[in-house]
Amino acid sequence: SQYHIAVVVGSLRKDSYNRALAHALVSLAPPEFTFKYLEIGDLPLYNQDDDGNQAESVKRLKGEIAAAQGLLFVTPEYNRSIPGVLKNAIDHASRPYGQNAWAGKPAGVIGISIGTIGTAMAQQHLRNVLACLDVPTLGQPEAFLQMKDDMFDASGNIGEGSRAFLQKWIDRYTAWVKQHSA
């Protein structure tokens, strides 16, 4: 059978390393997996007053999450946490109360940064938020990546140095999503 994954990239930057990482990971996944990148850049700022009348962009986001068997979060670290745009998207799809679109969807958490801790604190913060939303997260392997010139090759694939490691990561993640769907 086919498995459909909703990908959430925590950066809106045009040349985002995290978006590049997401593309590279998707290309390493087995053929029975399909991926949809969720648009989070056009969401309004979350306002609880709008819970009864969610914007079209929010309804679209929630529909795309509902259609997915799994989630893949690929996010930068901003000031030792997740970017506000990502938290905004998470909050939107968690509401109104009792209609949390994220609940029960198995999620992979990964990221790449300029800094040496490779998004470790952002990932831990994200795991904390996801636990509250009843989203189980893949525990191991963890992946903390630092951007270096050889991280991606000219075609945007993972460079030699990290390819085997990230292949193992995506293999483990996809096997775990299958277990959840069984």
- The residues binding ligand FNR (CB under 6 A) are 11, 13, 16-18, 76-80, 113-115, 117
For residues 54 and 162, which CB has a smaller minimum distance to ligand FNR in the complex?
162
12, 30, 62, 63, 151 from 17: Cα distances, Å: 10, 22, 25, 27, 10
Of 77, 143, 145, give the one whose Cα is nearest residue 109.
143
Shortest Å distance, C-beta 22 to ligand FNR: 9
Task: Report d(CA 29, CA 7) in Å as an integer.
Answer: 13
What's the min distance (Å) between Cβ of 112 and ligand FNR? 7
Q: Which is nearer to ligand FNR, 11 or 54 (CB)?
A: 11
| Least Å from the CB of residue 127 to ligand FNR | 16
Residue with smallest beta-carbon separation from ligand FNR: 115
For ligand FNR, the closer CB: 113 or 162: 113
Nearer to ligand FNR, 16 or 124 (CB): 16
Distance of alpha carbon 178 from alpha carbon 182, whole angstroms: 6
Quick one: 51 or 124, whose CB is closer to ligand FNR?
124
Question: At closest approach, how far in Å is the CB of 34 from ligand FNR?
Answer: 23
* Residues 85, 19 contacting (CB under 8 angstroms): no
> Rounded to the nearest whole angstrom, what is the least distance from the CB of residue 103 to ligand FNR in the complex?
27
d(CA 80, CA 119): 8
